[in-house]
Structure formats: C-alpha cells, structure tokens
Amino acid sequence: MQSRLHAHIGTIRQLEILLAVHDKGSINQAAKSLFLTQPTVSIQMKKLADAIGEPIYHLSNRKLMFTDIGLELVKTAVEVLDSFARLDMRLNNMRKLKSGTLRLSVVTTSKYLIPHLLGPFCEQFPDIEVQLNIGNREQTIERLKQSVDDVYVFSHLPNDIDCHTLAFMENPLVAIAHPENPLVKRKNLTLEDIRNEPFLMREKGSGTRHAIEEFLQNQQANINIKMTIESNEAIKHCVMSKLGISILSAHTLSYGEQNGLICLPIKELPIKTNWSFVWPKNKRQTIVAQQFLEHIKASKQ
C-alpha cells in the first residue's frame, strides 16, 4: 500500500524550518534567520518528529546532531523545495512569455512569407509585441553582428558568424519575363539564351543578387545587367513594362499582383536555396524567441 507519510507532515513551511535548522546547526540561529521565535521553531521541529514517529535530532554537548532519520528527512525536504523552485521558474517563464517582445530582422525578400508565419503565432500569443525589421542581406548581417535582434531570416547565411540555424522553407529563384518576350515561345531554354537579354538586377548587398552571382560563377555563365534596382516589386513592374528580364525568388510571385509576368523554363534554373531562421550562438535566447522557434518547428511537422 502506498505510504501516506506526506499527509502527516504539516506544511511545506515545516520543511523550510527543518532546512534552516540543519544549515545553521542551531534552533536559535535558524529562528533568527527565519525571523521566528525560538519556541516556534522548536514546536515545528517537534511536530515533524511526531509525524515521522522518530527523533530527528538530539543534543550532544549542547550541539545539535541530526539522526540518520533526520538526515533522510533533510534530503527529502531539499528535493521538495527544489521542485517548488523549479515550478516557480516555469511559472515565471510562462507569465513572461505572455507579454514579451519578439525582435525579428528579416531580409527583404522574406517579407512575402514571414507575415504568414507570424499570423498564427500572434494569434496564439496576442500580448506578444513583434518588432519586425526588414532590410537587404547586408543590412541584416550588420544587425546580426551587433546582436540587435533575437532572430534573423536569411536564405544565404553569413559564413563568418557563429550561428544556430533552422531551415524552414525552400526558396527557389526563377527567371521572369514579359509575356510578349520572344523567349517565352522558345523551347529548351538555357542560360546561354538569356546572356544578351537586358537583365534587371537587385542592388549590391542583396541576398538575391549574391545567389545569382554565385550561381552564374558556378555555371560559368554571363548576363547583361541593364538596371540595378533596390526592390523586388520595382523589378517586377519593370519586367511588366518590358524593360528586361530578371531572376527573383518565386515567393515574390506567390502573393498579390502577378499579371504580366511569365516564368521562363530555363534548364539550369531554379537556383535552389532555403530560408533559415538564424540566431547567434553567443546570445542567450529570450523566452519569447525560444517559444517562437518552437512554434516554427512545430508548424513544420
């Protein structure tokens, strides 16, 4: 049959008093440390001994000595109070979680998908404030280096910063053209076929540009850059206005206006990359950020 010993122990407070007596080695000192009177401490110790049914200490040369049974009780008291300390910590964490701030810094192109991940998270934790910073890859790397935010989003990770990463979605880069571009009607297109096409390129510091340049270098291919433009949206509008072709993340085409754009089926494309959440190894994560990453991991499953 299960022991009902715990039912005889009066209160958790008695265990606290027991530990103070054990630590201080004297009823008098324990009473002082707990701001209690000496008789109060003695009475509580007696009640504990009565509950156990055995003495828990005795006096030897006016020195307080714990019995073996008393020492066992001390061990249990430590475990019980530790459990409460851990509970206290977890409750505090849960309370803080309800009302913290999530600082998120993301590269420009990911703005097409991040709001769709934030939506369900904010619905679940309505009191969490989100500070969302959007910049190109170079600007976002700079913020990461200075540890400005909790979590970052890249598709081309900086390789000189020690980071944790969590890949969460594919980010294919595709070629886009105006429907009247003669390439649209051609079959079996390769990179060589777009070599002389006016190309609309993202600005220096952009992750999209970084990926295109790395890809062209690997493929030993060239393009004819006609315009440099700082925005995916502006590039799309320039393509719609027949100013040239471009290569952009497929996510830029997923939401909103797509009229007037065709994806060119070029043999070597898409450029395959992945979106990742990134956070520096040397920075302790906030509870809110931890919770956000857990939420992302769970939504991937």
Binding site for ligand PGA (CB under 6 A): 107-109, 136-137, 154-156, 171, 202, 206-208, 211
Give the nearer residue to ligand PGA in terms of CB position, either 17 or 141: 141
Structure tokens at 16: 């606290």
Structure tokens at 270: 């898409």
Q: Distance (Å, rounded) from C-alpha 148 to C-alpha 143? A: 5
Q: How many helices (H) and strands (E) does the chain have?
A: 12, 11
189 forms bridges with which residues in the sheet? Answer: 266
Minimum distance from CB of 84 to ligand PGA (Å)?
47
Alpha helices in 99-206 (DSSP H): 114-124, 137-145, 191-194
Q: Distance (Å, rounded) from C-alpha 123 to C-alpha 108? A: 24
Give the nearer residue to ligand PGA in terms of CB position, either 211 or 223: 211
Minimum distance from CB of 94 to ligand PGA (Å)?
35
Minimum distance from CB of 263 to ligand PGA (Å)?
17
Give the nearer residue to ligand PGA in terms of CB position, either 103 or 251: 251
CB 249 within 8 A of CB 171: yes
Minimum distance from CB of 92 to ligand PGA (Å)?
37
Q: Distance (Å, rounded) from C-alpha 281 to C-alpha 164? A: 6
Give the nearer residue to ligand PGA in terms of CB position, either 44 or 171: 171
Give the nearer residue to ligand PGA in terms of CB position, either 109 or 291: 109
Minimum distance from CB of 112 to ligand PGA (Å)?
10
Give the nearer residue to ligand PGA in terms of CB position, either 189 or 250: 250
Minimum distance from CB of 211 to ligand PGA (Å)?
6
CB atoms within 10 A of CB 18: 27
Q: Distance (Å, rounded) from C-alpha 67 to C-alpha 293? A: 50
Report the residue closest to ligand PGA, judged by CB.
207
Give the nearer residue to ligand PGA in terms of CB position, either 171 or 246: 171
Minimum distance from CB of 177 to ligand PGA (Å)?
19
How do beta strands 224-229 and 198-202 pair? parallel
List the one residue out of 153, 76, 149 whose CA is nearest residue 118.
Answer: 153
Give the torsion through C-alpha atoms of 231, 237, 243, 248, to 10 deg. 50
Give the three-class secondary structure for 139: helix
CB 32 within 8 A of CB 47: no
Give the nearer residue to ligand PGA in terms of CB position, either 66 or 154: 154
Minimum distance from CB of 77 to ligand PGA (Å)?
55
All residues at 6 or more sequence positions from 40 whose CB lies less than 8 Å from its CB, including other chains: 31
Buried-exposed string 198-217: b where 16+ CB fall within 10 A, e elsewhere: bbbbbeebbbbbbbbeebbe
